[in-house]
Structure 1
Amino acid sequence: MAFVDQVHLDGDTATYRVNPAVKKYTLSDLNFKKTKLGNYELTQSLNPMNAKANVQLKLSISADLHQLKLAILTGSGLKTVDIFKGDQFAEEREQYQFLMQNLIIRQVLTKN
């Protein structure tokens, strides 16, 4: 998956972009890790209480802070998961929306 200007997950009504006001120190404060290529990556579990059915959010922001990648993955990180389909991922959807709202408040992302 390549970096893009805006991301939209299937089933989600929102589209997200990197906030032009984002600061590198804010990313560090929010537990983004810097990769070898200089990009910033956040991997966050959406249901840490259920390790068997663990689903995680993976958000990457390019080194120049202009583009991003977003995916919801299985605990192993190998397969994408659609948390917006059916009721089995209701808790994960709620946690996802909470995390995304926090990133908007902290001026990391903007919502379209």
Structure 2
Amino acid sequence: MEHLIDQVTGDKQSYKIADGIKKYTLKDVGFVETNNGNFVFDRPIGDSPYDAKFKLKISISKDFDKLKMSVTDMSGLTDIDISKLKDSEKMVELYQYILDDFINREILVKN
């Protein structure tokens, strides 16, 4: 279910889309615009993208009114609880680094 506020399974912090978000800012940080105008961020979480076992997926609607966030396996089909990952401390640190960058760039805000 998509909504304005979302959080990743296993993360106690929820996030929402920042007011005044800009299309070009999303593209600058790696979001890709889909054919229907939505924005998708799909990035492996790990020291190297070649040996990553998980990925962070964030979708933002073209009207900037819907947000969906998840950490999945590399196929993108299975939602993962980040608090229960094998190397969860390191993975959560990498995940948090990405989200902190999005907060600093005024894409997301903590709810």
Common topology (TM > 0.5): yes
The answer (yes or no) to whether the contact 1:3–1:62 under 8 Å persists in 2 is no
Aligned partners of 1:59 and 1:70 also within 8 Å: yes
Change (3 A) 1:47 1:86: closer
Report the equivalent of 1:44.
43
Structure 1 residue 74 and structure 2 residue 108: aligned? no
Q: CA–CA distance in 1 between the matches of 2:5 and 2:64? A: 12
Contact 2:7–2:70, Cα closer than 8 Å, also in 1: no
TM (normalized to structure 1)?
0.89
Give 2:23's aligned residue: 24
Q: Which amino acid aligns with 1:17?
A: K
Q: Kindly tell me: are residues 92 and 48 of structure 1, through their superposed partners in 2, closer, same or farther at Cα, counting changes over 3 Å?
A: same
2:104 equivalent in structure 1: 105
TM-superposed CA distance for 1:3, in Å, is: 2.2
Shift in Å at residue 9 of structure 1?
Answer: 2.4
Deviations 1:56-108 (A, max 9, x none): 00000000012110010001111111111265322111001110110000000
1:107 maps to amino acid: E
CA contact (8 A) 1:33 1:40 kept: yes
Displacement of 1:109 after TM fit? 0.3
Alignment-mate amino acid for residue 60 of structure 1: S
| Per-residue deviation, 1:20 | 1.1
SS in 2 for 1:103: helix
State the number of aligned residues.
111
- AA partner of residue 45 (structure 1): P
The CA RMSD over aligned residues, in Å, is 1.7
Extract structure 1 runs of 4+ deviating beyond 4 A. 50-53
TM-score where L is the length of structure 2: 0.90
Give distance in 2, aligned partners of 1:35 and 1:27. Answer: 12
